[in-house]
Amino acid sequence: MVVVKSNNYKFITAKPFAPNLGAEIYGVDLSIPVPDEQFVEVQQAFLDYQVLFFKDQNVIPPEQHVLFGKRFGPLHAHPAAPTMKGQPEIFEIHATKDSKIANGEFWHSDVSCDEEPPLGTMLQIQIAPPCGGDTMFSNMYMAYDNLSKPLKSLVEGLTALHSSEHIYKGRYSDRGKSDQEIHCPEAVHPVVRTHPKTGRKALFINRTFTTRINELSESESDSVLEMLFKHAEHLDYQIRFRWSLNDMAFWDNRCCMHRAIWDYWPEERKGRRVTIKGERPV
Ligand code: SIN
């Protein structure tokens, strides 16, 4: 395979995935500690491309996955999802022929219902179906930038409620997590947030968790949210990633949404996910 070196990184290779979003990262072995000079460039690439796909990986030992996540900040504890045995910081994504649901089937930014939603998520897929099981990502900077001026001024003054009871209640009961053990947070966030590192504005609503715009009547809120969901899910902002075994994706929840496609039933798909704590959106 010809790898195009597309930029000024010296210690990693970042190959843009598509003009609108994402980069494939080569030359970084995540199964061992990442040297500082590579880590600095990975941090920069994360801000430049919003979603990184680390290619040619081995299975990342759970301890190593956790340590790599912690280099970006303290880890986020999921309020409801089952964790890996002996590794409470790892959320196992798992869909089989017996699953009632697969994780992340509708557009969302991870756990946006938290007061301080996760900054980023690192998912390695370790059992992949023979085909299918892609993940889609959508660029929320572009979604904001492409709003017309009148809509920009409307949404910039708005806040929205992000709820989770309708998502998490009963969701993981077949994976050993009863409703008594889980927590269903809700939080109010601005509809447009400013990324703390890049200073860019991004639309911050999603079909999974965002249930109400506070400053509007219920019917206005329903209509405006539906319009914003459709806008944010426009094909122009999207990419669709086809996983190879052991690829690891690392996405920025502050400026992207994603959606996992469950088109592979009855085949199995399994992965490990580490999530990094974020700050309150402003
Ligand atoms: C998720 O974390 O939302 C699931 C992503 C995936 O399984 O591809």
Residue 109, domain CATH: 3.60.130.10
According to DSSP H, which parts of 56-163 are helical?
Answer: 62-70, 140-145, 149-156
Q: What is the mean pLDDT of residues 273-281?
A: 97
The protein residue with its alpha carbon nearest to ligand 1, atom 1, reads 104
Closest CA relative to residue 274, chosen from 11, 21, 29, 73: 73
On whether residue 282 sits in a domain, the answer given is no
Number of domains into which the chain is organized: 1
From 29-43, 64-78, 177-191, the region with the lowest mean pLDDT: 177-191
3-state class percentages of the chain: helix first, strand second, coil last, to nearest 5: 20, 30, 50
Cα 216 to ligand 1 centroid, rounded to whole Å: 32
Catalytic residue at 110?
A: yes
On whether residue 263 sits in a domain, the answer given is yes
**What pLDDT is recorded for position 176?**
78
Catalytic residue at 174?
A: no
**Banded pLDDT at 100 (limits 50, 70, 90):** confident
What is the span of the domain harbouring residue 117? 13-276
Minimum-distance ligand 1 atom for the alpha carbon of 134 = 8
**Residue of 108, 162, 189, 272 with catalytic role:** 108
Which residues lie with the beta carbon below 6 Å from any ligand 1 atom?
A: 93, 103-104, 121, 123, 135, 258, 260, 273
On whether residue 215 sits in a domain, the answer given is yes
On whether residue 2 sits in a domain, the answer given is no
Query: Cα–Cα distance between 110 and 135 in angstroms, integer?
Result: 14
On whether residue 3 sits in a domain, the answer given is no
The pTM score is 0.95
On whether residue 149 sits in a domain, the answer given is yes
Choose the residue to mutate in 135, 246, 272 for probing ligand 1, maximizing ligand atoms within 8 Å of C-beta.
135
Q: What is the mean pLDDT of the chain?
A: 94
On whether residue 269 sits in a domain, the answer given is yes
Catalytic residue at 94?
A: no
Compute the chain's Rg from CA coordinates. Answer: 18
**What pLDDT is recorded for position 81?**
84
pLDDT of 130-169, one tens digit each? 999 999 999 999 999 999 999 999 999 899 999 999 998 8
Minimum-distance ligand 1 atom for the alpha carbon of 104 = 3
Q: What is the mean pLDDT of residues 35-54?
A: 97
On whether residue 8 sits in a domain, the answer given is no
